Structure 1
Amino acid sequence: MGLVYQLMKAINSFFLFFCSILLVSFHSESFGQSKPNIVLIIADDAGYADFGFQGSKSMKTPHLDQLAKEGMRFKQAYVSASVCGPSRAGLLTGKYQQRFGFEENNVPGYMSLFGITDDDMGLPLNQRTMADYLKGVGYRTALIGKWHQGNADRYHPTKRGFDEFYGFRGGARSYFAFDGNNPFTRPEDRLERGFAKYEESDQYLTDAFADETASFIERNKDAPFFVMLSFNAVHNPMQAEKKDLEVFPQLTGHRQQLAAMTLSMDRACGKVLAQLAELGLDKNTIVVFTNDNGGPSDANASLNDPLSGTKANHLEGGVRVPFLARWPDQLPANSVYEFPISTLDLLPTFFAAAGGTLPDSAGLDGVNLLPYLIGQRTERPHEVLYWKKESRAAIREGDWKLIRFPDRPAELYRLDNDISEERDLATAHPEKVREMYKKLFAWELTLERPLWQLQRKYEGADILRMDQYRKPRE
């Protein structure tokens, strides 16, 4: 009996110890002691080559360059669309946005086919956002800046998982406070705090968004938080402050404006990063910086070198973007990740880092990147990536890329030795063209019809001829 008693006592002690471990773990998770904070910073319409960490000699981005040194730079990061509304819808949901019909930019006054009105254009209410997911595991959430996922009240950020919102609902607006001479005065362009509380700022808008983000971090420093700092910089209108323009006397026109606006955005990023460091939060905070689509070279003088293409087309310059990630003690500093990733991966990656487990019903197209980034998995996170807008589409399989056009034969490229997409291999490899066409068609059969499309009279203005944005052939 003595031996049985001692055995039972040992089992009971182990059970109590195991329960205490579970309780401590639960307590820690509940109060955010082991969950990383998450700061997602998104630029708007920036050029692929327009950052120091991407090799620019004319742009000044010291804070982002330092972030690159402290974290990981991604050489082949992609967005899911070459324009901002659909791209952000994909990022927010972790799904190809065409799966739920968000295939076009939701531009007021330009789409109204089949009885669709401006108020109908927004991120469908049956789609969960990354803020929904993170809020469900104890995060305080905020969106600061540009929304562009629907102007109607039912699409408002505070109804899509974000506890706080300071920004504007539309896709672009002035960088200066509204006045009688300012043409950007549509209702969706007004600055808003929370829901329907309009509050214009006297600050340059990029600074206002940085200050609001720093304030949110300070107010929530004792619990896990997720903040999406969604700049409208460097999107049109080209409006820079005089002090920043003076830094670039060697530049002129839109290029000078762009350089000044980029400098301002970099300074704003530095303010947010400094706030994390000052509060001792930087070691346990995931910081990601990226862009929503390729730079519109014709509109803001951005450069996408060495990529061909621009915003609104499916050449690399339209869909490949700068991308940085820092998570001290988790991701190696001053490192480079070589394989293709997608902004669709952000939701599952953030959720996994937060300790969440995605249900089978989530149906995400993105993947959790963490095992790949820390070396647990050595294969590519994605063997195939897709893009589509109306009849235009593209598919990347391994290092092959097929681009489908509405008005001429498809083109085929090998990106591993032709990053600028200068050598069309379609004629030399017709069997590869057929094979990739079939995979593209099969994917398209899984998609919903677009929920809204451009009115016919505007269609010609929307379709940009890719030829004028190719790299010059020698």
Structure 2
Amino acid sequence: MQGAYTLTVLLTVCWILGLAQSPVSKPNIVFILADDLGYGDLGCYGQEKIKTPNIDRLAKEGMQFMQFYAGTTVCAPSRSSLLTGQHTGHTFIRGNKEIETEGQYPLADSVQTFAQLLQQGGYRTGAFGKWGLGMVGTSGAPDKKGFDRFYGYNCQRQSHRYYPTHLWDNDRKVMLEGNGLVHKTTYAPKLIQQRALAFMEENRETPFFLFMPTVLPHAELQGPDDEYYRWYGGQFEERPHNGQDYGVGASPGGYASVNDPRATFAAMVSRLDAYVGEVLDKLDELGLAENTMVIFSSDNGPHKEGGADPDFFNSGGGFRGYKRDLYEGGIRVPFIVRWPGQVTSGSRTDFQGAFWDIMPTLVAVAGLKQPNYTDGLSFLPALQGRDGEQSQHPYLYWEFHEGGGKQAVRSGKWKAVRLAVQSGQPITELYDLESDPKESVDVAAKYPNIVSRLEAYMDRSHQESAVFPFQR
């Protein structure tokens, strides 16, 4: 009798230990990427004129990165850096090279994305929004780069229109009735949002990676005449307002007029925030929130096109520069991660990271084999509060091929920006971000040895590309 009792106890202990040692199910991953949203456009990063309660909630329930950077300062190369885990001196796409009549230069067959690694590791993968890295039928199409499902704008030029003539559902062209040069009936971001929410519902029983590269709040400044627009309608101008004065409902189809661009921009950010709220609510509804990592960021700094006024909104968060600059305002972006049970609520980190760190981090989160090559490092230790185990970058590197060619390096507190690279007579500026985060005082003449060291990092980091040459 005693032997039977002992056997029962042993079996019970083994069962408990087995539970303790059984692998935790792979977390779902949701990555929401805004388009041209500035570091300072969110309440949790200091925005005072636009309300972003849902993204602020994400920060309160997760970790806010204060010194995180985009891949570069415009769309396509920044997204290439994100997906390939390589900075712009190495990543395949390094500029917005257009293909007529639709699409951009495609990622090559040989390019590996982290979506492919997640897909190979058992994740269902979906991208909903803006692609810009290869037209349907090319080597860079979403279905060739790790996504089971794509719905949205394949082409960046098309994504400048919130009432486009068509979207893409994988390789099927979906015409949007009622949209054209005059009439604007079907608001594309709403359709894309609905498909993204449905993707989570359809894949609730399996680990999934949901990539949401939204077009909000990229110019053009346009959107529905709805509660978001009307809420801001009279706040930003001294003149009295009514529907006729600032154009609400004045345009065919009932969309918000650009006659009040500040109200339109604010409404676009608030609508983006509401979409984030819908994602969080859907995760709660499906019972998936506790096993889902949610990431929010932006592809580069704030734009000035289409009547946008980043200075009025302090969209750059007080930093110098805008989209197309390699100063902090052009490349430092909001970055927030919520992961219940793994990331401490309401925490912040000064880890200096960038888009090319996301590949090794998400692969580590999923428990998968690391990529063949990456310029990044996993910041999983920082997420989990294991700061003593967190590796640090000796430097971060960016390049930008427009405007005469620009390069930048950050190493610790030092930031070097090299301008007019393609002129043959480049100029290097140096800033101490610790004492001068606004990059207002060039100290290159005072610290020539530091300038030389950071220029050496630039030279070491750039590998010439036949497709995107960067002559110096």
Q: Which amino acid aligns with 1:364?
A: T
In 2 relative to 1, CA 191–203 (structure 1 residues): closer, same or farther, beyond 3 Å?
same
CA distance in 2, matches of 1:274, 1:449: 44
Spell out, residue by residue over 1:106-146, the C-alpha distance to the aligned partner (whole angstroms, 9 max, x if none). 2346xxxxxxx987811122111111000111000000010
Q: Which amino acid aligns with 1:434?
A: S
Distance in 2, matches of 1:381 and 1:177, equals 44
2:333 to 304, 321, 324: 321
Residue identity opposite 2:288 in structure 1: L
Deviation for aligned residue 1:373: 2.4
Question: 1:138–1:199: structure 2 CA closer, same or farther, 3 Å change rule?
Answer: farther
Determine which of 33, 36, 50 is the counterpart of 1:42: 33
Which residue, 385, 395, 402 being the options, matches 2:416? 402
- 1:451 and 2:467 aligned: yes
Residue 397 of structure 2 aligns with an amino acid whose one-letter code is Y
Spell out, residue by residue over 1:390-422, the C-alpha distance to the aligned partner (whole angstroms, 9 max, x if none): 431011111101110116521100111211100
Match of 1:5 in 2: none
CA distance in 1: counterparts of 2:412 and 2:83, whole angstroms: 25
Code of the residue aligned with 1:334 in structure 2: it is: G
2:327 is the alignment partner of 1:351:
no
Letter in 1 for 2:363: F
Task: Note closer, same or farther for the CA distance 1:177–1:443 as it changes in structure 2 (3 Å cut).
Answer: closer
| 3-state SS, counterpart of residue 321 of structure 1 | coil
Secondary structure at the aligned position of 1:142 is classed as: strand
The change in CA–CA distance for 1:417 and 1:374 in structure 2 (over 3 A counts) is: same
Aligned counterpart, 2:382: 372
Aligned twin of 1:381: 392
Residue matched to 2:176: 200
Counterpart residue type for residue 56 of structure 1: Q
Aligned to 2:80: 89
**RMSD of aligned C-alpha atoms?**
2.6
How much has 1:251 moved relative to structure 2?
Answer: 2.2
Gaps of 5+ in 2: 1-6, 178-184, 238-259
Letter of the 2:408 counterpart:
A
Deviation of 1:375 (Å): 3.1
Partner SS state of residue 127, structure 2: strand
Structure 2 length-normalised TM: 0.82
The counterpart of 2:145, out of the listed 160, 184, 188, is 160
What residue number does 1:440 align with? Answer: 458
Distance in structure 2 (CA, Å) of the matches to 1:411 and 1:58:
33
Q: Distance in 2 between matches of 1:450 and 1:245?
A: 46
- For residues 155-176 of structure 1, the C-alpha deviation after alignment (integer angstroms, 9 at most, x for no partner) is 2111211000110111143654
Structure 1 length-normalised TM: 0.82
Deviation at 1:388, TM superposition (A): 1.1
Cross-structure match for 1:211:
194
Residue pairs, 1:301-340, within 5 angstroms: 301-302=309-310, 303-340=315-352
Find 1:53's aligned residue among 44, 50, 71: 44
- Contact kept, 8 Å, 1:214 with 1:275, in 2: the verdict is yes
User: In the alignment, is the contact (CA less than 8 A) between 1:46 and 1:291 conserved in 2?
Assistant: yes
Q: In 2, are the aligned partners of 1:104 and 1:453 still within 8 Å (CA)?
A: no
Mapped contact 2:103–2:135 kept (Cα < 8 A): yes
The 5 Å alignment of 1:236-251 reads 236-243=219-226, 244-248=228-232, 249-251=234-236
Q: Which amino acid aligns with 2:134?
A: G
Secondary structure at 2:231 match in 1: coil
Q: Distance in 1 between matches of 2:467 and 2:110?
A: 14
The structure 2 residue matched to 1:131, chosen from 115, 121, 126, is: 115
Q: 1:176 to 1:152 in 2, by over 3 A?
A: closer
* Equivalent of residue 72 in structure 1, options 40, 63, 67: 63
Shift of residue 376 of structure 1? 2.5
SS in 1 for 2:89: helix
Residue 263 (str. 1) matches residue 275 (str. 2): no
Cα distance in structure 1, aligned partners of 2:380 and 2:368: 13
Q: Please tell me whether the aligned partners of residues 206 and 268 of structure 1 are also in contact (alpha carbons under 8 angstroms).
A: no
2: CA distance, partners of 1:174 / 1:317: 22
- Secondary structure of 2:324's aligned partner: coil
* Cα deviation code 1:272-324 (max 9, x no counterpart): 11000111100100000000001113542232131001111110011100111
| Larger helix percent | 1
DSSP 3-state at the match of 1:223: coil
